[in-house]
Every structure is written in structure tokens, then in C-alpha cells.
Amino acid sequence: MSRTGSTDDGDELLARLGTLIAQARAQAEGQRSRVELAVALQRGMLPRGLPVADGVRLAVRYSPAYQGLNVGGDWYDAFTMPDGRLGLSIGDVQGHNIEAAAFMGQVRVGLRALASVDSDPGEILARTNELLLSLSSDLFATCTFMRLDPVSRLMESARAGHLPCVWATSDGRSGVTEDEGGPPLGIQSGVVYPVTRYRLDTGGVFVMLTDGVVEGPSMRLDEGLDQVVRLAGIAAVARMDTDALAAAVIKQAERVGHDDDAAVLVIGHDGPVTRP
């Protein structure tokens, strides 16, 4: 083979390599843009503020996953219902892409809209389930919806295929809720979601969370929940601020490997505010 032939072959190889590098760079840029769009979509759909009620302390944390297009549809929400009670929800949409983030927005808006006409948590989930089925989407969502009366401290909870909540009282007791629950939203028509009632102890806490906080490559689900139970128990006895507890719980996501979105909503009660 001549020296000229070798040079031509080398130039062609370099040109092809340059083309492949340019294509890879373009794909990476496109992927990064889609991730940024999904994250922006998620954050834009989360509530900008939390409701205020005498004695109630709310705190939230949210940390999206960033591995590839692994940006999903976890959400939290808290708002004042027409009857003065608080509506609290947290959930997780199946899938990790822009479609999942958009579907999350539909679920959250649906829950809020239906809570304005019927405040029963079980009915809210049942009606949201039928609404999502009418959209004919291939996606589904797990969710917990709670209604809290700030005066009586009565909490009414309905669960659609989602993780149980963690609770702790100021006298040192703590554990995981054992409500019956029903299937995820958007799978089966005509589902009934049972309502379980709890009393929020003065000085106690409830922790609503998504599975990215407690389950991952480095930790099993039961181990992750045990860790949050321990944190909540310490926080309740020490009268730790709910914001500090939320920060400690979301840090749990780093220990489990955090290859999924992670969301935390902490509810505490200090009793009625004394006005001058």
C-alpha cells in the first residue's frame, strides 16, 4: 500500500470519527434539554407556598433524579379546602420522562379540583381515578390524600397504591400507618378507597413520602422506612422543627442510592396559637 493511500485512509477515518463525535454531542445536548424541560415542568407544577393554620406546621422537600432521562412525576401538595380543613397529597407517576411529569400535573390539578366539591379523601381518590381513566392514558399514579382538621387534629387518609406514612408522638411512640388502601389511580374503574382516621398528637408528626426516599440500590424498602421511623421518633421527642425533620428525611434519599425522584411532606402540630 502506498504512503498516499495510507494518508487518505487516515483522513477518512478521522472525518468519520469527527462526524460520530458531533452526532454524540448533539444527542447529549438534546437529552440534557429534555431533562431540563422535565425538571422545569415538575417544579412549575408544584405549589409555590404552603397553607397556614393555627398550630399546624408543614414542611416539604423535593429532589429530582438526574440519571439519564430518569426524571419522573413525584409530587406533593398542600392547600386549604373550602370547609377550612387542609388537603394534603403526595404521589408518584409511573415512568421517568416528560410525559410522566405532565401526567403528574393532571393528577395534582384533578385532586385539587375535586377536593373543592367533595372533601372526603376516599371520594376524592375515586373520582380522580375515574377522571384519569377517561383520559385514556397508559400511565398510572400512586397517591395518598389526607384531610386534616387543624382544630380537632383529626386526620382522614385514603391511599391509592402508595407507600404508608410514618408517624411519631411526643411521648416516644412511632411507626408506620396500617391503613387498607386501594390500587393505583388510572388502572381500574369503580374502585372504592377506604378512609382511615388518625389523631395528630400535639407535638407529634406525620411524614408523607415517595419511594425514592426509602428504596434504592443501597437499601430495601423496609429498611428505608425503619430509618424514617427512627428520625421521626427522635424529632417528635426532641420537638424538632418540621423543616429540620424534612431536611433529614430527604437526605435519606442519598443513602438509598436516589435513582428516583424523592418527595417529603411533614405535618406537625403544636396546638393552638395564643393571640395577644
Same domain, 102 and 206: yes
Which pLDDT value is given to residue 176? 97
Which pLDDT value is given to residue 261? 81
Number of domains into which the chain is organized: 2
The three cell numbers of residue 268 are: 406537625
In a domain, 274, yes or no: no
Locate cell 385514603: which residue?
Answer: 158
In a domain, 188, yes or no: yes
Q: How many C-beta atoms lie closer than 10 Å to residue 254's C-beta? A: 13
For position 63, which CATH number holds? Answer: 3.60.40.10
Same domain, 238 and 101: yes
Same domain, 28 and 67: no
CA 219 to each of CA 225, 228, 252, 257, 262: distance values in angstroms, whole numbers, following the listed order:
10, 12, 10, 8, 14
Same domain, 253 and 182: yes
Same domain, 36 and 135: no
Same domain, 168 and 34: no
In a domain, 2, yes or no: no
Beta pairing partners, 238: none
Beta pairing partners, 209: 264
Domain that includes residue 41, residue range: 7-45
Q: What letter does residue 236 receive in the DSSP assignment?
A: H
Q: What letter does residue 211 receive in the DSSP assignment?
A: G
Same domain, 82 and 195: yes
Same domain, 38 and 146: no
Same domain, 226 and 161: yes
For the chain, give percent helix, strand, coil, nearest 5.
40, 25, 35
Same domain, 14 and 91: no
In a domain, 1, yes or no: no
Contacts of 28 (CB under 8 A, 6+ apart): none
In a domain, 276, yes or no: no
pLDDT tens-digit profile, the chain (276 residues)? 455 555 666 666 666 666 666 666 666 555 555 555 555 555 556 777 899 999 999 999 988 765 545 556 789 999 999 999 999 999 998 876 677 777 888 898 899 999 998 889 999 999 999 999 998 888 999 999 999 999 999 999 999 999 999 999 999 999 999 888 999 999 999 999 999 999 998 899 999 999 989 988 778 999 999 999 999 999 999 999 999 999 999 988 778 766 678 899 999 998 544 433
Same domain, 106 and 191: yes
Same domain, 58 and 28: no
